[in-house]
Structure formats: C-alpha cells, structure tokens
Amino acid sequence: MHIINWIKRSQRTWLLDYLSTKVAEFGYKSLVQLLRRFCRRHGFSRQRSAKSQSTQGDLSELRDEFALEFHRSYSAHSKECTYNVDETGFYYDMPSHLIWAVRGGSSKISAGEKHSMRMTAVLTARADGTKLPIMFIMKG
C-alpha cells in the first residue's frame, strides 16, 4: 500500500504514536483498516497498477488513423456489401444449483443433465442499417 510507505517516510512520529496505542500484534492490521476506511470515505479505489498505458490522446489519434485507413481501403464497397458481425457465447439448459425438496426427503433430481449446453448467437447488421436474422450455432 503506497499510503503506508508515504506515512513511514513523511509522518514517522504520527505513525509511532499511533502504533504505540495499539496492541503489538494488531498495530499494522489496525493501520491498514484505518487507511482502507479513509480511502473508501474519500472516494479512492484499489486498482492494479499497469506498467505502461497509452494516454487518451494517443488512443484517440490511433482510432482516427485506423478509421481513415479503414474507409480508404473499403470505400469502394457499397453499404449493402458491408457487414458488422458480433458473436456471443452462452449456456442454455443450465441445471439448477438449488432445488426445493421435502424436508428429510431425497434431493436427487429425477431426470436432466448434469452439464449445460453451449450455444453461440451471431448478430449481423449491414452498413445500410438492415439487421439480419440471428443465427444460432450449436455443437452437432
């Protein structure tokens, strides 16, 4: 926690005073809890640090360059011949994790599969705004 390192360097006397009021084995844990409550109260969130991230300006510039190149490459195609396809996989026929059973009775289900089935839904739209029917793909 970077806040603790800052406190150790910059607020050493406060840290020693704070820890002296706590039971020895719980001092550090108490400090961490105090700092977590402080961060939550003041709107800080825990995030995983990243080594290098592009700035928003760099990403916008890259997006604009890609858009120009895309339109230059595919401008010869009509809107009726340009498609956008998205696919998403999901599970269907999921078995329930919990069931209602008579107290003292068996909790076994009489029929059904233990595992669910996977399906992919493909959504397609043309550049002219026409939406094509959803295509479902299932394992043979």
* Predicted pLDDT at 107: 65
* DSSP string across 84-129: EEEEEEEEESPPPS-----TTS----SS--SS-EEEEEEEEEETTS
Residue extents of the structural domains in the chain: 2-41, 79-102+114-140
Predicted TM-score (pTM) of the model is: 0.41
Please give the chain's pLDDT, 140 residues, in tens: 578 888 889 999 999 999 899 888 888 899 999 988 988 898 888 777 666 777 888 899 999 999 999 889 988 898 889 899 999 998 877 666 666 667 777 766 655 555 668 899 999 999 999 999 999 998 76
* Predicted pLDDT at 96: 65
What's CA 108's distance to the chain center, in Å?
A: 35
- DSSP letter assigned to residue 96: P
